[in-house]
Amino acid sequence: MKSYLRIERLILVGIRKNYIVRFEEGLNIIHGDSDTGKSSILEFINYLLGASKIELADEIITSISYAALEIIINDTPYTIVRDIYKPHDFIEVYLCSFEKREGFISRKYAPNFSKNNAPDGFYSDFLMDALNFPKLKLKVSPTQSTSQFKRLSFRNIIKYVYVNQDDMGSKSLLGLTDWAKYTYTKEVFKYIYNV
């Protein structure tokens, strides 16, 4: 069976009401007039899948408490809950839909590898394990025998799926101007190809 991650719903838990974006199986197209929140939807999904920060518009700051993402990974439903104002706080993962989470105990994961005191480990490791992706370290400079190893994270993989429109034409996207970054990027692409 091929591993997959499918987004079901994005839920922005508001002060007065919740805002919900539903996704269908297959291709989903987000369209609308300028400045109506299309990019914000993608930013929230990116953040809930482990991005280190999120840019918040004024209307979000005044009306939203936190964000949640319902996903299915390999036929298993999860709800990811994350504080949008404290990106370094633990990410909560429930093994159920958003409405049923009160009856479940969440697992708490560190948002990145630098914070290692989370009760259930690292969020990246949770996603890699749920997707049945091997966790490994890649050489920063593969041609040098004394090269340092860098831990591969879920973000190393997903960042090529979600690309900000402003970065699309940038030479820095793949690290073409930085030899060490470019070399590591090539190793990440080899991993993606082999998985």
pLDDT tens for each residue of 59-101: 888 899 999 999 999 999 999 999 999 999 999 999 999 999 9
Domains recognised in the chain with CATH numbers? 5-130 (3.40.50.300), 137-194 (no CATH)
CA distance 41 to 49: 12
Residue 49: pLDDT over 80: yes
pTM value?
0.85
CA distance 54 to 181: 23
What residue type is 195 in one-letter code? V
